[in-house]
Amino acid sequence: MKETPYSNIEKNFLKTALSERKRLDGRSFDDRRSVRINFGKEYGCCHVALGDTRVLAQVSSEIQQPKSTRPNEGQVFVNVEFSPMSAEHVEPGKPSEACVEVTRVLEKCIRESKCVDLESLCIIAEEKVWALRVDLTVLNMEGNIVECASIAALSALAHFRRPDVTSTGDRLIIHDASEKEPLQTALHHFPICLTYAIFNKGKQIVADPTLIEEQTAEASLSVGMNAYRELCGLHLGGQALSDHQSILKIVQKAGASAAEIVQLIKKALAEDEEARTKNEVVGLTACIRAGRITTLCDQRMKIKINSQSIQEVAENLIAQRQQNKHTKFDDEGNAVEFTPSEKIIVSIGENSAELQDVDDEMGGETDEEMKEDLSDNNEKNQSNEEDNDSDDPTCVVHLPANRRETIKNQPRASVIQTKITTKNQQRTSKIEPEITTIDDSDDDELEVVQELTKEEKERMKKVETLVLDDSEEEETTTLTAGEIETPTNNPTPDSKKKKKNKNKNKKKGESGRSQDSNARQWYSKNAW
């Protein structure tokens, strides 16, 4: 089976759009898609999503005889596999050409840049060394696999712990994790493979290309770069560039991006470590529940229906649309601006969440009052932004360029458009005790939920601030947190419809929340 190429009109449209300095997904040329890193329960396992591209990594270790040329050095192998679920044309078994290329680029970047301290992997010189094997499985192919895989590989290597070994003369004892704390792998630096697609003889260079950009590009350049702006590898595919200037330009840009990604990896690692020391639930399972790997199913349904690249444009445009909606006309016919009230996400059982007003009073206020509150909130939010910078793993807020990206990600991660006003809030609180009595095992889950809520709340605040900031500079491309998907979220004075929606959402929420317990109840009924 061959991969179906994009049609001529799609490619031409992309080229025209790029010549107008527009990308199909609304990013600027240097913007990267959002990176999400989740670690598994076992050491050395991680799942990385770069936009819609997903890679699963697992590091494993075994004791081997070293190479005779390097008797006191351990070994690192990188193995990339395209899962048959990653694309239709991928066949199980034999590695495709693209797969071999990705493997080679990563090998160059990780193994040959000597980022892993190989000497520390030596147990007995010339006899026994550790061999680390990094297995990378591509789960979904939406462009820029190299970058996604390199982030996954480095995160997994940094996360991995190998068992401690003691050697007593002729015997080697490998200690179980319960006997002796396993050892971390020493990494000198994190060389990330950043990919750029080159169009029109180097006139347009875009970072982190999507699938259609990758296939339309004349050439693509992968730059291995660590946080210290050291080049660790360079791979040019496709037709060559017209001049050396372009490469230098790309390398310049790559430096900043690399530092940012490395910071992100380190933050994710630190968070995982903290959760482990606190004995919290770690692992992919926990991530799924918190809606981090994949978001809520209802919302996912909607977003995934959109084709990958366009989908983001959609979000962007809707942002514009939404912004428009914030202006409404008052009695004299003058445009009045108002912001939606702050929302927090309240998770209600698995796979669902609801938005609630942070401030109960806000719910009761009329639009005009909200308008007055706007300035207050504005200040509040700005101060929050600085405080919260370190709290949120999925948000990258380092550079202004990334801002839009951050905002764009919000709705995916956190917005299921359920607006609960004070009235409904009472309802939900009524349900809560019921649930807890039905199912005691839900208790620890509730804790998770609360934490999430806090985090989300902060995140939301931040987003709103960003929105406000951005709108001062450029009016069009902004998003507000609670607003992405349906107009019903707007505090437009269409009370009838709002009510209807509220009811619907409430129902949805309730069913989501009580699903598990329902099932159990049901079960025990049957069993008896």
263 versus 518: smaller Cβ distance to other proteins = 518
Nearer to other proteins, 269 or 313 (CB): 313
β-partners of residue 204 are 199
88 forms part of the interface with other proteins (CB under 8 A)? yes
Distances (CA, A) of 62 to 75, 163, 283, 374: 10, 10, 23, 60
Site for other proteins in 265-284 (CB under 8 A): 283-284
Q: Does 296 bind other proteins (CB under 8 A)?
A: yes
- Give the DSSP per-residue string, 209-235: --HHHHHH-SEEEEEEE-TT--EEEEE
- State phi, psi for 387 to the nearest 5 degrees: -65, -35
412-471 positions binding other proteins, by CB under 8 A:
441, 445
3-state secondary structure at position 389 = coil
Residues 103-122 binding other proteins (CB under 8 A) are: none
Q: Is 70 in the site for other proteins (CB under 8 A)?
A: no
Binding flag, residue 410, other proteins (CB under 8 A): no
The verdict on 165 binding other proteins (CB under 8 A) reads no
Contact yes or no for 50/44 (Cβ under 8 A): no
The answer to the question of residue 1 lying near other proteins (CB under 8 A) is: yes
Using CB under 8 A as the binding rule, whether residue 364 contacts other proteins is answered as no
Contact 225, 232 (CB under 8 A): yes
Residue 300 sits in the site that holds other proteins (CB under 8 A): yes
Total site size for other proteins, rule CB under 8 A? 97
For residue 472, the SS3 value is: helix
Q: Between residue 195 and residue 234, which ones bind other proteins under the rule CB under 8 A?
A: none
Query: Quick one: 244 exposed, middle or buried, by C-beta within 10 A (0-12, 13-18, 19+)?
Result: exposed
Give min distance, CB of 500 to other proteins, in A.
10
**What is the torsional sign of CA 363, 369, 373, 375?**
positive
Residues 2-21 close enough to bind other proteins by CB under 8 A: 4-5, 7-13, 16-17, 20
d(CA 48, CA 57): 8
Helical axes 403-414 vs 308-326, angle rounded to 10°: 90
State which of residues 83, 184, 242, 453 lies at the interface with other proteins (CB under 8 A). Answer: 83
For residue 212, the minimal CB distance to other proteins (Å) is 10
From candidates 204, 308, 388, 424, binder to other proteins by CB under 8 A:
308
Rule CB under 8 A: which of 139-158 touch other proteins? 139-142
Q: Tell me whether residue 103 or residue 322 sits nearer to other proteins (CB atom).
A: 322
Our finding on whether 24 is near other proteins (CB under 8 A) is yes
310 belongs to the binding site for other proteins (CB under 8 A): yes
- Considering only residues 330 to 359 of the shown chain, the ones binding other proteins according to CB under 8 A are 350-351
Per CB under 8 A, the segment of 81-89, 330-338, 401-409, 426-434 that binds other proteins is 81-89
| Geometric angle at alpha carbon 35, from 402 and 406, rounded to 5° | 30
For other proteins, the closer CB: 147 or 516: 516
23, 312 Cβ separation under 8 angstroms: no
Positions of E strands within 22-121: 35-39, 45-50, 53-64, 75-82
Contact between 498 and other proteins per CB under 8 A: no
Q: Which stretch binds other proteins (CB under 8 A): 1-9, 101-109, 169-177, 330-338?
A: 1-9
For 351-378, give the DSSP string.
T-EEEEESSHHHHH--HHHHHHHHHHHH
Q: In whole angstroms, how close is the CB of 7 to other proteins at the nearest point?
A: 4
Q: Which residues pair with 128 in a beta bridge?
A: 124
Single out the residue of 68, 69, 92, 278 in contact with other proteins (rule: CB under 8 A): 92
Report in angstroms how near the CB of residue 318 gets to other proteins at its nearest.
6
3 state SS of 84: coil
Looking at the Cβ atoms of 376 and 440, the one nearer to other proteins is 440
